[in-house]
């Protein structure tokens, strides 16, 4: 049977076209998004959960433990100075002399008035004795005797009044010498000779105690609660006071040789600052600490129970927020936003955003992306050199930075 050429060519054309289409489909490039990205090699450490030792640092200022303004009790010109500004004085030491001439005259006048009244009293008593004898013989009336008795009583009152005036005049004269009301160091604001001093108004000098002294600083409400609870726990353990170590760092970087102790807490929080003023007390036998001096106060011995801690190296900042990358159990990355607390050595306390069994990336991944495949090497804090106690970093509560 014959096969038409026309039909053969048509079948060949269909077969060729089908083969071409099949070949083209087999050579098409795969979609890049469907390819598996290679895993990134990273190192991760487990979030640390422990009672964390805490060192707090504050900016403090030295203040006088007590300070008084020395004023005179009498008015007059300062005629003598027995001390110099900045000098150490003891209670009862003479400091200034007020012009005493008018007070000397007042004493003389008061003595004269008293002597006169005493003479008059003696005369009235003699008259009373005479009248009593006359009345016995009824030579005078009862009224005359009563009048004389009243005259004696009046004169006795005058003598008592003059005695009081003399005492005041003598006290005023004694007060022309101004004495130190307490031991301490004089300020250099003492007045010069010739200054007119108004009683109870003019400040002649300032005296402040310099040993021991207060160092004053401000703490947050949270820190105050920590101190209070620590003190209460010490009492429950039968301890006299918590085992806190309070030290000073001076402006030249040196450490003050004497330890401090908590002395006073203010009774209210500042309405604007939300902080509480605290005073610590330090011995100052050599007078090295001067009121007005600024220092760093460091307090050790506090603990944060059950704290979650993450190495600082694991953190990245984005738009003012702190992020870490968590290596999940499926070996993929997950970005977590965390809330930071205090810095302790190489670590930060994490207040929120992580769990105790999380592993955070500390090396090998710098881009914040979710879902990236990871090849995770688990390391320890010792492997990475992380520590609670670096020698040169202390958490600054006020600035939230490492010093």
pLDDT, tens digit (0-9, with 9 covering 90-100), for 89-115: 999 999 999 999 999 999 999 999 999
Give pLDDT, residue 49. 86
Degrees, nearest 5: CA angle 199-202-205 = 120
DSSP label of 151: H
Domains detected in the chain? 43-64+211-402 (2.40.30.170), 79-98+176-208 (2.40.50.100), 100-174 (1.10.287.470)
Q: Is the pLDDT of residue 393 over 50?
A: no
Give pLDDT, residue 11. 45
pLDDT tens track for 194-239: 999 999 899 999 888 888 899 999 988 888 888 888 788 778 777 7
- Phi–psi pair at 147, nearest 5 degrees: -65, -40
pLDDT tens track for 41-98: 999 999 988 887 778 889 999 988 888 899 999 999 999 999 988 888 999 999 999 9
Q: What does the block give as tokens for 306?
A: 């059950």
Give pLDDT, residue 114. 95
Residues 306, 312, 316, 320: is their CA dihedral positive or negative? positive
Quote the pTM value. Answer: 0.60
| Rounded Cα distance, 371 and 166, in Å | 98
DSSP label of 37: P
Q: Annotate 44-77 with DSSP letters as a single string.
A: EEEPEEEEEEEEEEEEEEEE-SSEEEEE-SS-EE
> Is residue 86 within 8 Å of residue 225, measured between CB atoms?
no
When pLDDT is cut at 50, 70 and 90, the band that residue 359 belongs to is: very high
Give pLDDT, residue 31. 52
Output the CA–CA distances (angstroms, integers) from residue 123 to 13, 131, 143, 154, 239, in the order listed: 166, 12, 19, 13, 75
Interval 385-400 mean pLDDT = 50
> 188-227: buried (b, 16+ CB within 10 Å) or exposed (e) per residue?
eebbeeeeebeeeebebbbbbbbbbbbbbbbbbeebbebb
Residues 284, 289, 292, 298: is their CA dihedral positive or negative? negative
When pLDDT is cut at 50, 70 and 90, the band that residue 389 belongs to is: low
Which residues, in sequence order, are CB contacts of 262 under 8 Å at separation 6+? 227, 241, 244, 246, 278, 279, 280, 281
């Amino acid at each position: 049977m014959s096969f038409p050429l026309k039909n053969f060519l048509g079948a060949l054309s269909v077969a060729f076209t089908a083969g071409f289409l099949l070949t083209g489909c087999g050579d098409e490039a795969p979609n890049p998004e469907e390819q598996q990205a290679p895993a990134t090699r990273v190192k991760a450490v487990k979030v640390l959960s422990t009672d964390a030792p805490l060192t707090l640092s504050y900016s403090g200022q030295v203040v006088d433990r007590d300070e008084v303004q020395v004023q005179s009790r009498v008015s007059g010109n300062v005629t003598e100075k027995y001390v110099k500004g900045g000098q150490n004085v003891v209670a009862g030491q003479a400091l200034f002399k007020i012009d005493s001439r008018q007070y000397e005259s007042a004493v003389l006048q008061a003595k004269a008035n008293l002597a006169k009244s005493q003479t008059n009293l003696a005369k009235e008593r003699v008259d009373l004795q005479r009248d009593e004898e006359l009345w016995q013989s009824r030579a005078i009336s009862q009224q005359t005797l009563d009048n004389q008795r009243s005259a004696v009583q009046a004169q006795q009152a005058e003598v008592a009044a003059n005695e009081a005036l003399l005492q005041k005049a003598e006290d005023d004269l004694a007060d022309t010498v101004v004495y130190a009301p307490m031991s301490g160091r004089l300020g250099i604001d003492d007045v010069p000779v010739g200054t007119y001093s108004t009683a109870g108004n003019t400040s002649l000098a300032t005296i402040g105690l310099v040993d021991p002294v207060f160092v004053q600083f401000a703490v947050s409400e949270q820190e105050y609660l920590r101190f209070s609870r620590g003190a209460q726990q010490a009492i429950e353990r039968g301890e006299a006071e918590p085992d806190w170590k309070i030290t000073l760092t001076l402006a030249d970087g040196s450490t003050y040789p004497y330890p401090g102790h908590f002395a006073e807490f203010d009774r209210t929080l500042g309405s604007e600052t939300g902080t509480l003023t605290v005073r610590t007390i330090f011995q100052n036998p050599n007078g090295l600490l001067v009121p007005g001096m600024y220092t760093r106060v460091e307090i050790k011995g506090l603990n944060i129970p059950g704290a979650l801690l993450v190495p600082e190296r694991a953190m990245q900042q984005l738009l003012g927020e702190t992020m870490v990358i968590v290596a999940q159990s499926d070996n993929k990355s997950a970005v977590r936003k965390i809330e930071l607390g205090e810095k302790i050595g190489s670590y930060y306390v994490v207040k929120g955003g992580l769990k105790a069994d999380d592993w955070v990336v500390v090396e090998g991944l710098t881009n914040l992306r979710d879902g990236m495949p990871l090849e995770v090497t688990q390391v320890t804090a010792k492997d990475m050199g992380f520590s609670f106690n670096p020698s040169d970093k202390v958490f600054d509560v006020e600035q939230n930075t490492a010093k």
